[in-house]
Structure 1
Amino acid sequence: MRLRDGTDTGAAAPGGRERLFAGEYAAPFAAFTALTVLTALSGLAVVPTLPVAVRALDGLWLYPLVASAFVAAGLVGGVIGGAWSDRSGPGRPLAAGLALAVATLVVSGTAGTVWQLAAGRFLDGVAAGMIVVATNAAIAQTFPDRLRPRALALLSAAWVGPSLIGPPLAGLVVSWWSWRWVFLGLAALMVLPGLAVIASLGRLPRRDAPAGAESPGLVVALAVSVGAGLGQYALSGRSAVHLACGMAALLVLAAFVRRMVPPGTWRAAPGLPATVLLNGLASGTFFTLEAMVPLLLNLDGSVAPAVAGLAFTGSAVAWALSSWAQSRWLAGRPRHLLVAGGAVLLALATGGAAIATATGLPAWIPASALVVAAVGMGATAPTLTVLSLGHAPSGRTGYAGSAMQTSQNLGQIGILALASALLGTAVSAASAGSVARFGPALGVLVVPSLAIVILAARARSTRAS
Structure 2
Amino acid sequence: MLVLTTSAFEGLAITTIAAKIAKDMQGIHLYGWIFSAFLLCQLVGTLVMGQQVDRRGVFNSILISFAVFVIGTIIAATSMNMYMLIGGRAFQGFGAGALITCVYVCVTLYYPDTLRTQILAAFSMAFVLPSLIGPYFAGLLASYLSWRFVFWIVIPLIALALLLTYRSFRDLQRNQHIIEEARGVDSRTGQAILLAIGTGLLLTGLGMITSWQGIALSISGFIIMIPFMHKLLPQGTFLIQSGLPATLVTRGLYVACYFATESFVILGLTEMKGVSAETAGLLVAAGSLSWSGAAWLQARLDVKDQGDGRKQRVMYGIGIMIIGVMLVMLALFLTDTGIPLILLSQIIIGFGVGLANPTTAVLALQYAELGKEGKMSANLQFVDSFYVAVSIGVSGSLVALAKTMGWGISTGILMVLTLQLLLVILSFFSSLRITAHTSKSHQPTGQKIDTLPM
* TM-score (structure 2 length as normaliser): 0.81
1:125 corresponds to 2:93: yes
Equivalent position of 2:449 in the other structure: none
Superposed, which structure 2 residues align to 1:273-284 within 5 Å?
273-284=245-256
Equivalent position of 1:134 in the other structure: 102
Counterpart-to-counterpart distance in 2, 1:440 and 1:383: 30
Contact 1:271 1:391 in 2 (8 A): no
1:282-318 CA distance string (max 9 Å, x none)? 1122223223423443454376766544431211111
Q: Which moved more, 1:61-70 or 1:315-324?
A: 61-70
Shift of 1:243: 4.0
Equivalent position of 1:369 in the other structure: 345
1:37 corresponds to 2:9: no
Superposed, which structure 2 residues align to 1:233-312 within 5 Å?
233-234=204-205, 236-240=207-211, 241-298=213-270, 300-301=272-273, 308-312=280-284
Superposed, which structure 2 residues align to 1:354-433 within 5 Å?
354=329, 363-364=338-339, 365=341, 368-416=344-392, 425=402, 429=407
**Residue identity in the other structure for 1:406:** F
Counterpart-to-counterpart distance in 1, 2:80 and 2:408: 36
Equivalent position of 2:197 in the other structure: 226
Counterpart-to-counterpart distance in 1, 2:276 and 2:33: 29
In structure 2, relative to structure 1, the CA distance for the partners of 1:353 and 1:361 (3 Å cut) is: farther
- SS of residue in 1 equivalent to 2:171: coil
Equivalent position of 1:23 in the other structure: none
Contact 2:16 2:278 in 1 (8 A): no
1:383-406 CA distance string (max 9 Å, x none)? 111111112233222212222222
In structure 2, relative to structure 1, the CA distance for the partners of 1:216 and 1:340 (3 Å cut) is: farther
Counterpart-to-counterpart distance in 2, 1:46 and 1:292: 12
**Pairwise CA RMSD:** 3.6
Counterpart-to-counterpart distance in 2, 1:58 and 1:357: 25
Equivalent position of 2:313 in the other structure: 338
Equivalent position of 2:113 in the other structure: 145
In structure 2, relative to structure 1, the CA distance for the partners of 1:286 and 1:64 (3 Å cut) is: closer
Contact 2:291 2:353 in 1 (8 A): yes
Q: Which moved more, 1:420-429 or 1:263-272?
A: 420-429
**Residue identity in the other structure for 1:227:** G
Counterpart-to-counterpart distance in 2, 1:165 and 1:324: 21
Long gaps (5+) in structure 1: 1-32
Equivalent position of 2:178 in the other structure: 208
Contact 2:32 2:395 in 1 (8 A): no
In structure 2, relative to structure 1, the CA distance for the partners of 1:49 and 1:199 (3 Å cut) is: farther
* TM-score (structure 1 length as normaliser): 0.79
Superposed, which structure 2 residues align to 1:73-84 within 5 Å?
73-84=41-52
In structure 2, relative to structure 1, the CA distance for the partners of 1:245 and 1:199 (3 Å cut) is: farther
Equivalent position of 1:313 in the other structure: 285
**Bigger relative contact order (CA 8 A; separation at least 6):** 2
Counterpart-to-counterpart distance in 2, 1:439 and 1:38: 32
Counterpart-to-counterpart distance in 1, 2:268 and 2:86: 28
Contact 2:16 2:281 in 1 (8 A): no
In structure 2, relative to structure 1, the CA distance for the partners of 1:264 and 1:317 (3 Å cut) is: same
Contact 1:41 1:162 in 2 (8 A): yes
- SS of residue in 2 equivalent to 1:267: coil
1:461 corresponds to 2:432: no
In structure 2, relative to structure 1, the CA distance for the partners of 1:370 and 1:57 (3 Å cut) is: closer
In structure 2, relative to structure 1, the CA distance for the partners of 1:325 and 1:464 (3 Å cut) is: farther
Counterpart-to-counterpart distance in 1, 2:286 and 2:19: 24
Shift of 1:100: 2.1
Counterpart-to-counterpart distance in 2, 1:193 and 1:272: 33
Equivalent position of 1:10 in the other structure: none
In structure 2, relative to structure 1, the CA distance for the partners of 1:42 and 1:198 (3 Å cut) is: farther
Contact 1:282 1:449 in 2 (8 A): yes
Equivalent position of 1:155 in the other structure: 123
**Residue identity in the other structure for 2:168:** S
- SS of residue in 2 equivalent to 1:461: coil
1:200-252 CA distance string (max 9 Å, x none)? 22111222349899965221111111223334444545542444433332222
Contact 1:337 1:457 in 2 (8 A): no
Equivalent position of 2:76 in the other structure: 108
- SS of residue in 2 equivalent to 1:106: helix
Counterpart-to-counterpart distance in 2, 1:406 and 1:210: 24
In structure 2, relative to structure 1, the CA distance for the partners of 1:255 and 1:54 (3 Å cut) is: same
Equivalent position of 1:347 in the other structure: 322
Equivalent position of 2:294 in the other structure: 322
- SS of residue in 1 equivalent to 2:433: helix
Counterpart-to-counterpart distance in 1, 2:314 and 2:168: 33
Question: Taking every aligned residue pair, what percent have the same amino acid on both sides?
Answer: 24
Counterpart-to-counterpart distance in 2, 1:123 and 1:307: 29
- SS of residue in 2 equivalent to 1:459: coil
